[in-house]
C-alpha cells in the first residue's frame, strides 16, 4: 500500500502574532517569514510547515484573543509577512496549494514591505563593483495568472535570476498550471453505518508521467467533493438525528501518474485536515489496483 503517514504537528513559528482587522472583520494571524535563506524548495518547505502549524493552532483555538467584545462571526486570515524578502515561484505555488486546501474557511495573504525590498535591491546594486548583471526577460504574468505591473515583474525576474545563480541553472520557467479534465465528476457521499460517518472515495487513473495534470485533477475533485457536503443529495443520506458526524475522504491515485507535485498536494491535504473531522486518507497504488477500484 502506498499510504502516506501523517506528520507530527509542528510548533507555531516564533514571533507569530495576531491583531483585529476592522475592515475585514477578521482576526489576522501574522507569521514572520524570511524567504532569503535556502533553495526555493527549502523555502517552500519551511513556508508550508509554518502555515500548516499556524492553521492547526487556529483550529485548536489558540488564537482569537484580539476579537473585540460583542463581535460574532469573526473570520480568520493568515498573513505571511515576508518583510524585505520576496517569495519565489516555488514558495508561491505552495501558498496556492494551501489556499485551495483551505477553501473559503480561511484566507491566506502574503505581505511584503515594498520599500524595504526596493532599498535592499538598490543597496545590492551599489555594493557590486562589477558590471551590471543582465536581467532575465521580464515575466508578464505571475504564478496565479495575474498580470504583473512593471515593478512586480522586475521583482519576480530578479528573484528568478538569483535562484538560478544559487542553483547554477537557468532561471526557471513559470510552473505549468493546468485545468482539470472536463469529464471529472465529484465523488458521491454515502453513509458509513459502522462508523457513523459520511464517506466518499475519489479514484483517479492518470496517464503515465502526467504529474501536472494529475495534480490539477486531484485539486479539483477534492474541492468539488467537499463542496457537495451541504448539497441536498448529500444531506439526504445522513440519518435523521445523526448529530455531529465525521467525514471520511479517500483519494486513490495510480503511482505512474503521481509525481512530486501530486504527492506534495496530497501531503498538504493530509496535514491540513489533521485534527479536523475530515479523515483524509491517501493511497498511491499501481495502475492495476486503481483499475480494479474503478471496475467495482
* Distance between CA atoms of residues 189 and 197, nearest Å: 10
pLDDT-derived band at 218 (thresholds 50, 70, 90) equals very high
The residue ranking higher by pLDDT, 180 or 170, is 180
User: Residue 124: its pLDDT value, please?
Assistant: 64
pLDDT-derived band at 28 (thresholds 50, 70, 90) equals very high
* Distance between CA atoms of residues 164 and 89, nearest Å: 12
Question: CA 199, 265, 220: angle at the middle one, nearest 5?
Answer: 60
* Distance between CA atoms of residues 37 and 14, nearest Å: 17
Q: How far is CA 62 from CA 18, 66, 158, 210, 233, in A?
A: 11, 11, 38, 40, 35
Q: Lowest-pLDDT range, 28-32, 48-52, 134-138, 226-230? A: 134-138
User: Residue 87: its pLDDT value, please?
Assistant: 84
Q: Lowest-pLDDT range, 37-41, 60-64, 107-111, 156-160? A: 156-160
Cβ 135 vs Cβ 121: under 8 Å: no
Q: Which among 210, 176, 220 has a CA at the least distance from the CA of 287? A: 210
pLDDT-derived band at 171 (thresholds 50, 70, 90) equals very low
Torsion over CA: 214, 216, 222, 225 (sign) = negative
- Counted residue by residue, the chain has a size of 296
Which residues lie closer than 8 Å to 220 by C-beta, 6 or more apart?
180, 184
H or E, element range at 246: strand 246-254
Q: Which residue has the cell 545590492?
A: 124
Q: Which residue has the cell 510547515?
A: 49
pLDDT-derived band at 113 (thresholds 50, 70, 90) equals confident
Check residue 269 and report its DSSP letter: H
Distance of CA 290 to the CA centre of its chain: 26
Q: Lowest-pLDDT range, 163-172, 197-206, 245-254? A: 163-172
* Distance between CA atoms of residues 238 and 14, nearest Å: 43
Q: What is the 3-state secondary structure (H, E, C) of 104-167?
A: CCCEEEEEECHHHHHHHHHHHHHHCCCCCCCCCCCCCECCCCCECCHHHHHHHHHHHHHHHHHH
Amino acid at each position: 500500500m502506498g499510504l502516506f503517514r501523517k506528520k507530527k504537528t509542528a510548533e507555531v513559528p516564533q514571533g507569530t502574532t495576531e491583531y483585529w482587522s476592522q475592515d475585514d472583520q477578521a482576526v489576522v494571524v501574522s507569521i514572520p517569514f524570511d524567504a532569503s535563506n535556502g533553495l526555493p524548495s527549502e523555502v517552500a518547505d519551511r513556508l508550508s510547515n509554518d502555515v500548516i502549524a499556524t492553521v492547526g493552532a487556529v483550529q485548536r483555538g489558540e488564537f482569537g484573543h484580539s476579537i473585540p467584545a460583542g463581535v460574532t462571526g469573526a473570520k480568520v486570515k493568515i498573513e505571511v509577512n515576508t518583510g524585505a524578502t520576496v517569495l519565489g515561484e516555488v514558495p508561491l505555488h505552495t501558498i496556492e496549494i494551501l489556499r485551495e486546501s483551505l477553501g473559503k474557511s480561511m484566507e491566506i495573504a502574503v505581505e511584503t514591505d515594498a520599500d524595504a525590498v526596493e532599498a535592499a535591491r538598490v543597496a545590492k546594486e551599489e555594493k557590486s563593483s562589477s558590471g551590471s548583471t543582465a536581467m532575465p526577460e521580464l515575466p508578464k504574468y505571475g504564478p496565479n495568472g495575474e498580470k504583473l505591473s512593471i515593478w512586480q515583474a522586475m521583482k519576480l525576474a530578479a528573484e528568478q535570476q538569483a535562484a538560478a545563480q544559487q542553483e547554477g541553472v537557468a532561471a526557471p520557467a513559470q510552473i505549468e498550471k493546468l485545468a482539470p479534465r472536463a469529464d471529472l465528476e465529484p465523488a458521491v457521499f454515502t453513509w458509513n453505518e459502522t462508523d457513523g460517518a459520511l464517506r466518499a472515495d475519489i479514484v483517479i487513473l492518470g496517464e503515465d508521467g502526467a504529474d501536472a495534470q494529475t495534480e490539477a485533477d486531484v485539486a479539483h475533485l477534492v474541492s468539488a467533493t467537499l463542496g457537495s457536503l451541504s448539497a441536498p443529495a448529500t444531506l439526504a443520506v445522513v440519518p435523521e438525528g445523526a448529530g455531529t458526524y465525521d467525514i471520511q475522504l479517500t483519494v486513490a491515485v495510480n503511482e505512474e501518474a503521481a509525481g512530486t507535485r501530486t504527492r506534495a498536494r496530497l501531503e498538504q491535504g493530509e496535514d491540513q485536515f489533521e485534527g479536523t473531522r475530515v479523515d483524509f486518507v491517501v493511497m498511491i497504488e499501481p495502475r492495476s489496483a486503481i483499475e480494479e477500484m474503478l471496475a467495482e
